[in-house]
Amino acid sequence: MRRRRLGAELRRLRESARLTGDQVIEQIGWASASKLSRLENGRSRPDPQDVMVLLELYGVTGPLREDLANITREAGDVRSWLRSYPVMTPRQRSFAEFEAGCADIREYSPVVVPGLLQTREYARTRIISFRPLGNHSTDAEKSDVEDPETEVEARMARQARLIHETHPPRYSAVIEEASLSRRAGSPEVVRGQLNQLCKLAALPNVTLQVLPSQARIANWYLPHTGFSLYRFADPQDPETLAIEGHLTNQVLTDRDELDRYTVVFDWLQSAALTAEDTLTWLADAAGRVSSEPGRSSLGRGSTTPPIQRRRTERLTDQ
């Protein structure tokens, strides 16, 4: 986020100075035109000396210069940031970068429990289930699949920010009932994940809501994919939307797209069980998971969660 914010500021300053990218490259003598492009697009770690040269060219002085110098140092301080994570794989790093400095995280997960909430066993099951697709993955993804324990440790490291920090982010998630069904893993894995969600739902900064499979979302709206919305502690950092893909995520800061997905998240929250009813549903579901190997009673019989059934019964009595 610091790189993106710095890049946007540098682009704005260049345009205010009425300079093209080629003119900037020519005046400061950089060998590659792509260097400025990568810097302005937030795709490279900024060199403080390079940024100072640009600020000098653009005539930036005073508090703005000092502010941008501070942002440059923060954007380039990747090593100290990574020291807070004992293990970090390339795929997990992209999520951890968004979560760092985040004040508010909202997530919708249609298929699996979000990574910040997963138990070790649930995470391991999900990662190993991906193995047969390894031949169709990138080199970075293949390494993650070949070493599932590294990926599991990365997810556990990310969770520390949500659970153990003095000032953790506010976290809200809408989780589809299917992600906790008997298809998600062995009875032991599912039961452990349900118990973990009960514990996390009790944290003051965490709000969890289960979306029943038969719940109506707004005017019969069907979400296309999972997504995450990030709001940062520094109001100058742009709010960010990450749309989940099978192998890669699409990251957007466009205000119109953010507004659309914010509306969708509001719809999902309205359709889901309340936080209080979700806690009851999770506890009841954990109790219904059979201990018989390879089988689970969760999802059998009526597909209506107990809270929803009680509501229906009351309506019928009336």
Count Cβ atoms within 10 A of the Cβ of residue 231 and give its class: 0-12 exposed, 13-18 middle, 19 or more buried.
Answer: middle
Q: What is the pTM of this model?
A: 0.70
Taking only the tens place, the pLDDT of each residue in 159-210 is 888 887 778 899 999 999 988 887 888 889 999 999 999 999 999 999 999 9
List b or e across 233-264, with b for residues whose CB sees 16 or more CB atoms inside 10 angstroms.
Answer: eeeebbbbbbbbeeeebeebbeeeebeebeeb
Q: What local confidence, expressed as pLDDT, does residue 302 receive?
A: 40
Cα 99 to Cα 158, 217, 232: the distances in Å are 8, 28, 9
Map residue 244 onto helix, strand or coil. coil
> CA-CA distance, 211 to 201, in Å (whole number)?
15
CA distance linking residue 141 with residue 161, whole number of Å: 24
Mean pLDDT, rounded, for 42-70: 85
Contacts for 285 with CB less than 8 Å, ≥ 6 apart: 180, 194, 298, 305
Q: 88 or 128, which is more confident?
A: 128
Distances (CA, A) of 199 to 60, 222, 280: 51, 29, 12
The whole-number pLDDT of residue 312 equals 37
**Residue (of 229, 302, 306) closest to 264 by Cα position:** 229
Q: Which residue has the tokens 């944290």?
A: 203
pLDDT at site 177: 92
Question: Which residue did the predictor score with more confidence, 74 or 108?
Answer: 108
Q: Average pLDDT of the chain?
A: 80
User: 63: Cβ–Cβ under 8 A, 6 or more apart, which residues?
Assistant: none
Q: What pLDDT, in 10s, does the model give residues 220-245?
A: 999 989 999 999 877 777 888 998 77
Quick one: how far is CA 120 from the chain centroid? 18
Q: How confident is the model at residue 246 (pLDDT cuts 50, 70, 90)?
A: low
Instruction: Give, rounded to a whole angstrom, the gap between the first and last alpha carbons of the chain.
Output: 54
- Whether the Cβ atoms of residue 226 and residue 109 lie closer than 8 Å to each other: yes
Give the model's confidence band at 145: pLDDT under 50 very low, under 70 low, under 90 confident, else very high. Answer: very low
Is pLDDT at 140 greater than 70 in this prediction? no
How far out from the chain centre does Cα 6 lie? Answer: 22
Q: Say how far apart CA 112 and CA 175 lie, in whole Å.
A: 8
- Residue-wise pLDDT for 252-297, tens only, equals 888 999 999 999 999 999 999 999 999 999 999 998 885 445 444 4
Closest CA to 215 of 271, 295, 137, 296: 271
- What is the residue type of 167? H
Cα 303 from Cα 299, distance rounded (Å): 6
Amino acid 310: pLDDT: 46
pLDDT at 87: 67
Of 70-84, 123-137, 204-218, 295-309, the range with the lowest mean pLDDT is: 295-309
